[in-house]
Amino acid sequence: MSLQKFLSSLDELLDDAKQSLDEVGSSEQLENLRVRFVGAKNGAIKAVQKLMGAIESEHRPVAGKRFNEVRDAIQSALDLATERLGGASKAVKDPQMDPTLPGLRPQLGQLHPITQTIEHLKDIMGRLGFSVTEGPEIEDTWHNFVALNIPEDHPARDPLDNFYLAAASKQLQNPTDRDAMLLRSQTSTVQIRVMETQSLPLRIISLGRVYRPDAPDATHFPMFHQMEGLWVDKNVSMAQLKSVLRLFATSYLGSDVKVRFRPSFFPFTEPSVEVDYWWNGNWIEFGGAGMVDPNVFQALNIDPEQWSGFAFGLGVERLCMRRFGIVDIRDLYRSDVRFLRQFAS
Ligand code: DAH
């Protein structure tokens, strides 16, 4: 190809580009022109550039120089037109924007599975006549141990098994001190608070957090929830305790659930049992229960000859996990919404 012919095709291209870009009136047209002139694949500049290979080598420096000038001039004209149209519209510039796609649904929050479980348990127990009470998570040793008949040398009071709180002086308090404070290790504390303040008879449940310094694994977490129950009246019996826990289990887990009571020991109940539910081929321990120990009544100036009662404490996470098919307690507390979203209420 002759140099002359090459240069004149460059001039033609430049004239054409300038004229079209001067007249361009919309972003869409501008985008078409951009593709037509400087498009990386089939743009006119690209096409002219290819012709350069056919030019004799002695003329190539001149051809190349002019080619660069024309290319830059077209680019400037494009920039100018873009500016004149108020910047390329986003829709044209961003090929990922597809206005025909359906919109994104706004995400609604939902209750955490544990909160859902707590609501469900309150509902079932409410139908059995239990009203809901709350107690503080920061407790003193009187409510967490002493009044519950847990003596000073009992292993449950070991500082290694409890979150005792440092006093204002930042010194660890003496755990044998009746006023030493700790994060409650059980909701049984609420039994004491209720019997201190409410008149008998009473029938309450209390659901809330408890704390123990356990290393987290699939079934342990340093914070978990319990449902405490207490029924005090004249002539409350072990038979009633078993009926209530059985009714609760069938309401919550289904009519085919089996319940087993194993003799056990708790300082605040006598006799005491552990409660297992048969579920999906296994016996699973859900908590403890028993008849309120006369020592507990006496610590609160309640006459054990006149009053009797039963109490129970169940693990809320276990109930929740059984029902929702969750196998690792830590998943409940990772705050991963992708996990939690599965358990829509
Ligand atoms: N507080 C006990 C625990 O955390 C559970 C418990 C057992 C509660 C027997 C009770 C009860 O009310 O009667 O292991």
Which residue owns the Cα nearest ligand 1 atom 7? 288
What does the block give as tokens for 299? 């610590």
The parts of the chain modelled with pLDDT lower than 50 are 91, 168-170
Residue 159 has what pLDDT?
87
User: How confident is the model at residue 92, as a pLDDT?
Assistant: 55
Structure-derived torsion over alpha carbons of residues 185, 188, 191, 194, reported in degrees to the nearest 10: 30
- pLDDT of 168: 43
Dihedral sign for Cα 52, 55, 61, 63, please: negative
Q: Give a yes or no: residue 34 inside a domain.
A: yes
Looking at the structure, do residues 120 and 217 belong to the same domain, yes or no? yes
Give me ligand 1 centre to Cα 309, in Å: 14
Tell me the C-alpha distance between 144 and 150, whole Å.
9
Say whether both 16 and 50 belong to one domain.
yes
Angle, CA 212 vertex, CA 208 and CA 215 arms, to 5°: 125
Domain coverage including residue 128: 113-136+184-343
Give the residue, out of 286, 312, 318, with the most ligand 1 atoms within 8 A of its beta carbon, to mutate for a pocket test: 312
289 Cβ closer than 6 Å to some ligand 1 atom: yes
Q: Are 332 and 342 in contact (CB under 8 A)?
A: no
pLDDT for the residue 175: 57
Q: Is the CB of 311 under 6 A from ligand 1?
A: yes
Same domain, 118 and 25: no
- CB of 241 within 6 A of ligand 1: the answer is no
Is 176 part of any domain?
no
Question: Is 169 part of any domain?
Answer: no
Q: What residues contact 43, with CB distance under 8 A and at least 6 apart? A: 35, 36, 37
- Looking at the fold, whether 189 and 313 belong to one and the same domain comes out as yes
Ligand 1, atom 13: closest residue by C-alpha: 289
Q: State the CATH number of the domain containing residue 295.
A: 3.30.930.10
The model's pLDDT over 249-302, given as tens digits with 9 standing for 90+, comes to 999 999 989 999 999 999 999 999 999 998 778 898 999 999 999 999 999 999
Task: Tell me: do 48 and 125 sit in the same domain.
Answer: no
Q: Identify any residues that bridge with 233 across adjacent strands, giving them in sequence order.
A: 308
Q: What is the pLDDT of residue 170?
A: 45
Ligand 1 contact via 206 beta carbon (within 6 Å): no
What is the number of domains present in the chain? 2
188 Cβ inside 6 Å of ligand 1: yes
Q: Residue 130: how many CA atoms within 13 Å on its side-chain side?
A: 27
Q: What is the pLDDT of residues 175-205, one digit of tens each?
A: 566 668 999 999 999 999 999 999 999 999 9
Task: Tell me the C-alpha distance between 18 and 12, whole Å.
Answer: 10
122 and 48 together in one domain: no
290 lines ligand 1 (CB under 6 A): yes
Q: Which atom of ligand 1 is nearest to the CA of 314?
A: 5
| Structural domain contains residue 108 | no
Distance 334 CA to ligand 1 centre (A): 27
**The model scores a pTM over 0.85:** no
Residue 94 has a pLDDT of 61
